[in-house]
Structure formats: structure tokens, C-alpha cells
């Protein structure tokens, strides 16, 4: 891509930031715009654009664009996968949750951590051996291409877009708060930057932005926890003693409370780990490494990073309870924390390290959002261009040029859609959106993938009919759940009483896929069943997978 265009875009972005900042300053005289924060923020944007420029010059073909050339190492991919889960919601949202509800926050973090071994033990190596660019490749490996791909990629798109809207709304709010840029500008800025990364830099830029951000956030949180623990002489007992004294819930702040109340919601909640294992933008990362061995390594590293990160996030949230308690500047007249539920970590950064550290953490939070939305966008783009266009419309024989063009056009469309939806939903409580995406992934993507890899009897009819019905049921139950029916639509009583429907929909999906498969007596079904053996051999040994990569 031309360097001049890249730098022109960069200048525009910077100017937009400055002008909107100046605009915000003019409106509210009392705010002191944090110079350190803005310079860190610009540094982050500049370095990600340099990465994009570097990546754009290296992209020559499909594999480079969708899978970073298959050259990412296990450690790098582990960092990138961890980065996908260390989102702004993961850091600011979870530390905020710990700040307000204590131990429940830790329980919520567990779903992300426990999803990792599930991915490794069930999918990682087999996914690498069977697929090329997306998890849909694996589902349609021996099934009739068109119907399965259309359904599975639409499923991917729905999950990704829901997840994306959750991120952009959060991002817009965060930037609005941190830098006092008006909401519409900040959402558009996120959309624009994400578009630049993915259109020009593809998976290569997306992965490197994610890796760098993951290192920055791990570094930042480590420093924060060290400074924090120094206040308590590195003694957890001292910390917890003060937490129990300060928090209004007293001793029960360190005990489980709201999420795990009855067996049905508890099982539903626990089953979310299978949704964490079915997110398309994460599964896509296994195609960026060379072979099954690297895929396995990347999951080990990812697990360690995520586990470490969420443990520190818990300490950050708990520490914020004590440190912020006697500092009036972080609360408004009503005694509420300034900026809302996601801000305790940001205030803690300021309390511990002043303006510079606040600036650093804010910039990292911003980078986090950009990296995660970029990953989501490339997975949406590959669903459209690789699964729908190349394999369904062109029957697997597209021209590489057109396919990449369609992919880039999709990126722009998804970016515009995300910005528009972000503006539409700006006043809604969107905290439930991430959990919704994970719920749908647990009730459709996950069962489809498990059956495709492990069950010989799966047929196209089973995958498509079973998948569509369970997808529809999940969607209906989510709409009827309290989060939407009561909080968004404003009805008094939810039609479906539980927060998550997974305890019903996950078994239902398995049952339907099984039922529609065994009742399928067509000749096509027979040939699909008999093709399982060679799929099995390839999944176990990687036979054929290496030669395919080498031929690119």
C-alpha cells in the first residue's frame, strides 16, 4: 500500500483528535486535559500504524492476509490469543466488578480462564490439522460445502457483530471519559483505526497489534499490582483485613454471592466456558501457526497469560476498594465513583502513579479495544470473503484478487455497521452483549465443531437443521431473558427467568444435530459418513495439512 496514503490518514486522525480535544476543552473549562495521557495515546496510535504499514508491505496472498502467512510462533500466538480475552471489558470491567461485588468478580473471570484448557484438549491441534483459514473450514470438511458454510458463517457473523457492538459502545464511552472527546467522534475514531489496520494489514497487522498490546497490558498491570502491594508490605492478609473493614458488604465481599444462586443458573453459567471455546475470532488464530505442535504451545502460553492477568485484575479490584476509599477526588457529591462502574482501575492507576501512569493505563486500555475489534473484524471479513464468496459463490475457485477485494470491502462495511450500531445503542446497558455472544457460540458453534470433529454420523442435514433450530431457540430465550425483556424492552416480568439459557440450549443443540443426522437416509449422508475416516486420520496425524501449507 502507498506510504503516502497511510501517513495522510495518520495525520487526519491526529488532527481529528486534537481538534475534538480542543473542542471539548472549549466546552468544559474546568477539565484539565491530561497531557501525559494524550501523548501516550498518540504514541500508541502511531506505533500501531507503523505496524500496519510494515505488515501491509508483506501481504502478498490469501494466506498472508487471513493467517499472517502461517508464520506466527507458538509464544506469539499465545500472546495474541490472551490479548483477545484481555479486552477492555476484561480489564476495566472485571476490576470494576471486583471493586463492587468482590469475590463474584473472580468467579466471572474464571469462565475465560477455564475456556482455555477446553480449547486445547478438544480443538487446538485438530483444528490446525483440518482447517485453512476459519473454523467453518473444519465444520464443512466432509460435508456438502454450500449449505453448511452459509449457515456456519452466518452464525459466526452474528456472534462477531454482537461481540463487536459490545466492544465499540464500551470503547466510545471509555474514550469519551478519558479524553473528553464527544461520543460520536470517539466511536468513529475506533471504527476508522480498526478499518485501517485490517484493510491494509490483514491478520498480520491484527496479530502484531494484539501481541504488543498484550505485552503492554501485562506490564502495566504487573507494575500496578507491585506498587499496590508495596502499600500493604506485600502481605495479603493486611490487604484483605482492610478490604473487609472498608467495603460496605463487610466479610461477605470475599464470599460468592450473586452469580451462583441456584443449580440451573449455576450450570448455565459454568457452560459458558464452552462458548469461550467457540468464539470464531479466537478459533481463527490457530491457522496463523505452522503446525499442531505450535497450536498446542500457543494454548499453553495463552492459558498462563490469561490466568496471570485475571489474578492480577482481582488484586487490582480489591486494592481499589481500599486505596480509593479515603480519596474524595474520585467520587461525586452523591458519593458515587466518577465515570461509572468501569473506572475503578483507572482511578487506582492515578492514585498509585499520578498522571503519567494514568496516561499509560488509559492508552493501553484504548489499544486493547482497537486490537480486539480488529481481531473481530478480520474474522467477520473472512466469514464473508473466504466462506461465503470464495467457497459458496465461486465453488472454491475464486480469483485471489477479487477475494481479497471483497474481504477489504467487508471490513469497511463491518466498520461502518459497528460505528452506526455503536451510536444507536449508546444509551443502552450493553454489559450483557459479550455474554450473549458467548451464549450463542456455546449453543451453536461449539456443538457444531464438536460433532464435526468427533462424530462419524454427522451429516449436512443434521448440521444445518439442528444448528438453525438451536440458534433460533437460543436467540429467542436470550431476548426473553431479564437482560433484554425487562431492562431493554421495559416489560415487568421476564418470560424466561434465567440469565443464561445454556443449560437448555447446549444439550438441545447436540440432540437436534444428532437427531437430524441419524434420520438422514440420503446417499449424500452415506458418503459423508464414509469420509470420516480420512478426516480422522488427518485430524490425528496432520497428513495432508503440511503439504497444503507448503504449497502456498
Distance between CA atoms of 276 and 271, rounded to whole angstroms? 9
Nearer to other proteins, 117 or 182 (CB): 117
Pick 98 or 475: Cβ nearer other proteins: 98
CB distance 337 to 344 below 8 Å? yes
Provide the total of helices (H) and of strands (E) in the chain, helices listed first: 26, 0
Nearer to other proteins, 293 or 519 (CB): 293
On the 0-12 / 13-18 / 19+ scale of CB atoms within 10 A, 213 is buried
Instruction: Build a one-symbol-per-residue string for 84-103: x at contacts with other proteins by CB under 8 A, - elsewhere.
Output: -------------------x
229 touches other proteins by CB under 8 A? no
Sign (positive/negative) of CA torsion 60, 63, 67, 71? Answer: negative
Minimum distance from residue 124 beta carbon to other proteins (Å): 10
Distance CA 102, CA 318 (A): 7
- Choose which of 336, 519, 543, 552 interacts with other proteins (CB under 8 A): 543
CA dist., res. 190 & res. 186, Å (int):
6
254 vs 431, beta carbon nearer other proteins: 254
Q: H/E element holding 55?
A: helix 35-56
Instruction: Tell me the window of 42-50, 64-72, 188-196, 297-305 that interacts with other proteins (CB under 8 A).
Output: 297-305
Q: Rounded to an integer, what distance in angstroms lies between the CA atom of residue 321 and that of residue 1?
A: 49
Among 251, 395, 524, 552, interactor with other proteins by CB under 8 A:
251
The residues in 303-332 that bind other proteins, with binding defined as CB under 8 A, are: 303-304, 307, 310-311
Q: 396 in the Ramachandran plot: left (φ > 0), alpha (ψ -120 to 50) or beta?
A: left
Does 256 bind other proteins (CB under 8 A)? Our answer is yes
Stretch that binds other proteins, among 131-139, 247-255, 460-468, 499-507 (CB under 8 A): 247-255
Min separation Cβ 277 and other proteins, Å: 11
- Quick one: 245 or 400, whose CB is closer to other proteins? 245
Q: Which of 300, 331, 455, 515 binds other proteins (CB under 8 A)?
A: 300
Residue from 209, 203, 178 nearest 51 by CA:
209
What minimum distance in Å lies between the beta carbon of 39 and other proteins?
A: 35
Which CB sits closer to other proteins, 250 or 340? 250
- Footprint (CB under 8 A) of other proteins, residues 113-132: 113-114, 116-118, 120-122
Select from 205-213, 240-248, 323-331, 425-433 the region that touches other proteins (CB under 8 A).
240-248
Among 244, 409, 417, 479, binds other proteins (CB under 8 A): 244
Nearer to other proteins, 155 or 545 (CB): 545
The rounded distance, in Å, linking the Cα atoms of 196 and 51 is: 11
CB 173 within 8 A of CB 431: no
Quick one: which segment of 150-158, 249-257, 343-351, 519-527 binds other proteins (CB under 8 A)?
Answer: 249-257
Question: Does 109 interact with other proteins (rule: CB under 8 A)?
Answer: yes
Torsions phi, psi for 150 (to 5 deg):
-60, -50
Nearest approach, Cβ of residue 305 and other proteins (Å): 9
Q: Which residues contact 101 (CB under 8 A, 6 or more apart)?
A: 253, 257, 258
**Alpha helix stretches (DSSP H) within 86-182:** 88, 94-101, 103-118, 125-130, 135-139, 145-179
**CA gap 342, 415 in Å, rounded:** 24
Site string for other proteins, 266-285 (x = CB under 8 A): xx-xx--x------------
Distance CA 503, CA 494 (A): 18
Q: Which of 23, 54, 236, 511 binds other proteins (CB under 8 A)?
A: 236
- As a whole number of angstroms, the longest Cα–Cα distance in the chain is 74
Cα–Cα distance between 55 and 205 in angstroms, integer? 5
Provide the phi-psi class of 505: left if phi over 0, else alpha when psi is between -120 and 50, else beta: alpha
In whole angstroms, what is the distance from residue 350 CA to residue 343 CA?
Answer: 11
Print the binding letters for residues 150-179 with other proteins: x by CB under 8 A, - otherwise: ------------------------------
Q: Which of 173, 281, 285, 297 binds other proteins (CB under 8 A)?
A: 297
Write down the least CB distance from residue 219 to other proteins, Å. Answer: 19
Q: Map the footprint of other proteins across residues 371-400, applying CB under 8 A.
A: none
110 scored as a contact of other proteins (CB under 8 A): yes
Nearer to other proteins, 38 or 277 (CB): 277
DSSP secondary structure letter of residue 337:
B
Distance of CA 112 to the CA centre of its chain: 10
Q: Which residues bind other proteins (CB under 8 A)?
A: 103, 106-107, 109-110, 113-114, 116-118, 120-122, 236-237, 240-241, 243-244, 251, 254-256, 260-263, 266-267, 269-270, 273, 293, 296-297, 299-300, 303-304, 307, 310-311, 533-534, 537, 540-543
Amino acid at each position: 500500500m502507498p506510504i503516502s496514503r497511510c501517513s495522510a490518514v495518520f495525520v487526519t486522525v491526529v488532527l481529528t483528535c486534537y481538534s475534538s480535544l480542543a473542542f471539548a476543552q472549549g466546552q468544559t473549562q474546568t477539565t484539565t486535559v491530561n497531557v501525559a495521557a494524550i501523548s501516550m495515546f498518540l504514541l500508541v496510535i502511531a506505533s500501531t500504524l507503523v505496524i500496519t504499514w510494515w505488515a501491509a508491505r508483506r501481504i502478498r496472498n490469501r494466506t498472508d492476509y487471513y493467517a499472517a502467512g502461517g508464520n506466527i510462533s507458538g509464544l506469539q500466538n499465545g500472546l495474541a490469543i490472551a490479548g483477545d480475552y484481555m479486552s477492555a471489558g476484561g480489564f476495566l470491567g472485571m476490576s470494576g466488578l471486583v471493586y463492587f461485588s468482590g469475590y463474584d468478580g473472580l468467579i466471572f473471570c474464571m469462565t475465560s480462564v477455564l475456556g482455555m484448557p477446553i480449547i486445547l484438549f478438544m480443538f487446538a491441534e485438530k483444528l490446525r490439522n483440518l482447517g485453512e483459514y476459519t473454523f467453518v473450514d473444519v465444520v464443512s470438511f466432509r460435508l456438502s460445502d454450500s449449505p453448511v458454510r452459509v449457515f456456519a458463517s452466518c452464525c459466526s457473523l452474528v456472534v462477531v457483530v454482537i461481540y463487536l457492538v459490545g466492544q465499540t459502545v464500551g470503547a466510545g464511552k471509555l474514550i469519551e471519559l478519558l479524553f473528553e472527546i464527544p461520543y460520536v467522534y470517539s466511536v468513529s475514531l475506533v471504527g476508522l483505526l480498526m478499518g485501517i489496520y485490517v484493510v491494509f494489514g490483514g491478520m498480520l497487522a491484527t496479530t502484531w497489534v494484539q501481541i504488543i498490546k498484550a505485552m503492554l497490558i501485562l506490564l502495566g498491570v504487573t507494575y500496578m499490582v507491585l506498587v499496590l502491594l508495596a502499600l500493604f508490605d506485600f502481605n495479603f492478609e493486611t490487604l484483605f483485613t482492610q478490604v473487609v473493614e472498608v467495603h460496605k458488604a463487610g466479610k461477605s465481599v470475599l464470599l460468592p454471592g450473586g452469580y451462583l444462586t441456584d443449580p440451573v443458573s449455576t450450570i448455565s453459567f459454568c457452560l459458558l466456558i464452552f462458548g469461550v471455546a467457540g468464539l470464531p475470532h479466537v478459533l481463527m488464530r490457530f491457522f496463523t501457526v505452522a503446525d499442531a505442535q505450535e497450536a498446542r504451545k500457543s494454548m499453553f502460553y495463552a492459558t498462563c497469560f490469561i490466568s496471570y492477568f485475571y489474578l492480577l485484575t482481582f488484586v487490582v479490584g480489591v486494592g481499589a476498594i481500599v486505596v480509593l476509599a479515603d480519596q474524595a477526588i474520585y467520587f461525586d457529591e452523591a458519593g458515587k465513583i466518577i465515570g461509572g462502574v468501569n473506572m475503578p482501575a483507572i482511578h487506582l492507576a492515578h492514585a498509585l502513579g499520578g498522571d503519567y501512569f494514568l496516561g499509560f493505563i488509559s492508552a493501553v486500555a484504548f489499544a486493547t479495544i482497537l486490537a480486539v475489534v480488529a481481531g473481530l473484524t478480520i474474522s467477520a471479513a473472512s466469514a464473508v470473503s473466504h466462506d461465503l464468496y470464495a467457497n459458496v459463490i465461486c465453488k472454491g475457485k475464486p480469483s485471489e484478487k477479487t477475494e481479497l477485494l471483497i474481504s477489504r470491502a467487508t471490513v469497511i462495511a463491518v466498520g461502518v455497521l459497528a460505528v452506526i450500531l455503536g451510536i444507536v445503542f449508546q444509551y443502552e446497558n450493553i454489559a450483557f452483549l459479550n455474554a450473549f455472544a458467548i451464549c450463542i457460540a456455546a449453543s451453536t458453534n461449539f456443538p457444531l465443531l464438536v460433532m464435526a470433529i468427533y462424530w462419524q454420523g454427522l451429516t449436512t442435514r443434521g448440521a444445518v437443521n439442528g444448528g438453525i433450530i438451536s440458534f433460533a431457540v437460543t436467540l429467542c430465550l436470550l431476548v426473553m431473558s431479564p437482560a433484554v425483556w425487562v431492562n431493554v424492552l421495559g416489560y415487568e416480568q421476564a418470560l424466561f427467568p434465567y440469565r443464561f439459557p445454556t443449560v437448555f440450549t447446549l444439550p438441545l443443540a447436540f440432540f437436534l444435530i444428532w437427531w437430524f443426522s441419524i434420520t438422514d437416509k440420503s446417499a449424500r449422508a452415506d458418503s459423508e459418513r464414509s469420509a470420516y475416516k480420512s478426516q480422522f486420520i488427518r485430524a490425528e496425524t496432520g497428513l495432508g495439512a503440511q503439504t497444503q501449507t507448503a504449497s502456498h
